[in-house]
Amino acid sequence: MGVVSFLAKLGNIVPSPPRPARRPDIKYRITFTIAAVAIFFAMASVSVYPVQAGGPQLPTLLQVVFAATTGTLAQLGIGPIVTSGLIMQILVGGKLIDLDLSDPEDRKLFTESEKGLAIVIALVEATGFALSYRQNIFVTVSIALQFFIGALILMILDETIQKGYGIGSGVSLFILAGVSRTIVWDMLSPATVNVYMLDGSTRVYRYGVIPYLIEGIINGNIDIQRLIYGYVPGYLAGGETALLPSLVGMVSTFILLLVIVYLQGMKINIPVTIQRAPGIRGRIPLNFLYVSNIPVLLVGIVFSNIMLFRNMVEAYLPQYQWLREGLNSVLVFLSSPRGLLGVLYDPVRAVIYAALLMGLAVLFGLMWVEVGGLSPAAQAENLIKSGISIPGMRSNPKALEMVLSRYVYPLAVLSSLVVATLSLVADIFSVFGGGIGLLLASGILQQIYTALTYEQALEMYPVLRRLVGE
């Protein structure tokens, strides 16, 4: 408990806003939420000083999930918060840390230590990213401080929103803001990009699909490859292959969003009865996407960490050529296919990547069930504590566990495969924001809608506010 207590004390260093004496009205909370998102957008648009461009490129998945923007005050995004939360949840769920989250004191200690761990992670990541710029010690310290302060600001905003000043949580809002910005930018951006063609010429393209389509119709020079595949035979200023937003990607985005909303609404109902009133029966719904997007998120983090390690080896250990070449060979199969052309050009690589993604997703999904409090044993214990049992069975934890295992483990495997498939399809069809980004965004939108409906009901019916203890 010494480490946890130390992290808790470290977490108390960060300024923490007090809880409001009275719950602010809905207009104030919406205004505060909009202001927090505006601050996030401003941070994601301000480059660190004195370096105005370049820097380490985060993998696309981490940019979406962590709401991070390279080279800006939001370089770390919400990465430290999300990572510390996952680590603490795994440690507590795996009984490596003895904390009872139903106990208010232990819950408070968990929250404070989670914040302390986020500070440590932010400090380490800020230093690592600052070192990659290869500047002198003073500039490096300056860049690291800017990254670290940016992460602290987002942590404070997140905590302030959760304490009742805003709607939802800062983490959810920043993820939704980042995904929405990507979708809108890919769809409507009028900005132009220079593409250096293979024949030595330079062509200018509108980045957004709709502006490019309108301009192409007016001028009569639509590039079918760009429109369908997003591919232009050339290179961008950074040297990477020119892959721009495509019409197929835009259509696929809306189709995949509808599929995700449908899947998130699917439930598996388990019949139950209340012990105090055996004649009353009901159903407990289990989400079809039982493990949510956690398996693919963990797979993406593993792949991304291998990529970052490869970058560090190339930058600081160039003499170990065998290690660099080995990592490059591995990463060929850990990188998602870039659009339909990527699958057609190298189908073997796409199949191997899909197999690795599916297999690891199932493995991480089953692991998360055990450490995330979703196992049959944990669910059976919760049901018994709530006075609920399954019809025709005694209130026995082992018996309930056996019944629930028939639902939980198949759901964990199936939902892991479904989420991995959505992610793979999103990569193949170049979906705006990515499959995981859309999964997160749609779930967050549903949560915000539910919260707004709840708040509106409390505003309209003051008696209801007293009944629920608000």
CATH number of the domain within which 376 lies: 1.10.3370.10
Provide, rounded to the nearest whole percent, the portion of the chain with pLDDT above 70.
86
Asked if residue 40 has pLDDT above 70, the reply is yes
Pair 276, 295 in one domain = yes
Pair 412, 265 in one domain = yes
pLDDT at 362: 92
Pair 52, 164 in one domain = yes
| Residue with token string 């020119």 | 242
| pLDDT higher at 333 or 146 | 146
Mean pLDDT of 286-304: 79
Distance CA 368, CA 365 (A): 5
Place 389 in a pLDDT band, splitting at 50, 70 and 90. Answer: low
What is the CA angle 100-101-104, rounded to 5?
A: 100
pLDDT at 463: 59
Pair 289, 228 in one domain = no
pLDDT at 172: 83
Residue 233 lies in a domain: yes
Pair 87, 14 in one domain = yes
pLDDT at 441: 83
Contact (Cβ atoms closer than 8 angstroms) between residue 335 and residue 310: no
Pair 229, 314 in one domain = no
Residue 456 lies in a domain: no
Pair 21, 165 in one domain = yes
Q: How many domains does the chain have?
A: 3
Pair 221, 275 in one domain = no
Residue 470 lies in a domain: no
Pair 139, 194 in one domain = no
Pair 62, 138 in one domain = yes
| Residue with token string 């018994």 | 384
pLDDT at 363: 92
Residue 85 lies in a domain: yes
- Integer CA distances (angstroms), 29 to 25, 84, 161, 200, 209, in order: 6, 27, 8, 55, 35
Tell me the CB-side half-sphere exposure of residue 275, using CA atoms within 13 A. Answer: 11
Residue 437 lies in a domain: no
| pLDDT tens digits, 102-135 | 677 777 787 888 888 889 888 888 887 887 777 7
Mean pLDDT of 74-86: 84
Asked if residue 89 has pLDDT above 60, the reply is yes
Pair 305, 425 in one domain = yes
Strands 202-206 and 192-197: antiparallel
Pair 324, 396 in one domain = yes
Residue 272 lies in a domain: yes
Partners of residue 206 on adjacent β-strands: 192
Top-confidence range, 37-41, 44-48, 216-220, 382-386: 37-41
Place 387 in a pLDDT band, splitting at 50, 70 and 90. Answer: low
**Which parts of 130-216 are beta strand (E)?**
192-197, 202-206
Residue 211 lies in a domain: yes
The rounded mean pLDDT for the chain is: 80
| pLDDT higher at 259 or 374 | 259
Encode 350-361: b = buried (16+ Cβ within 10 Å), e = exposed: beebbeebbebb
Structural domain for 66, as ranges = 1-185
| pLDDT tens digits, 196-242 | 877 777 888 888 899 988 888 888 888 888 888 887 777 777 666 77
Residue 461 lies in a domain: no
DSSP state of 338: -
Contact (Cβ atoms closer than 8 angstroms) between residue 388 and residue 273: yes
| pLDDT tens digits, 438-455 | 877 887 887 788 878 877
Encode 412-425: b = buried (16+ Cβ within 10 Å), e = exposed: bbbbbbbbbbbbbe
Top-confidence range, 136-150, 218-232, 268-282: 136-150
Asked if residue 429 has pLDDT above 80, the reply is yes
At a CB cut-off of 8 Å and minimum separation 6, what does 168 contact?
Answer: 33, 161, 444, 447, 448, 451
Which residue, among 110, 92, 89, has the nearest Cα to 11 in the 3D structure? 110
**Which parts of 198-353 are beta strand (E)?**
202-206, 231-235, 241-243, 267-274, 277-287
What is the CA angle 438-444-449, rounded to 5?
A: 125
Residue 466 falls in which region: left (phi positive, over 0), alpha (psi -120 to 50) or beta: alpha
pLDDT at 180: 87
Please state the φ and ψ torsions of residue 206, each to the nearest 5 degrees: -70, 135
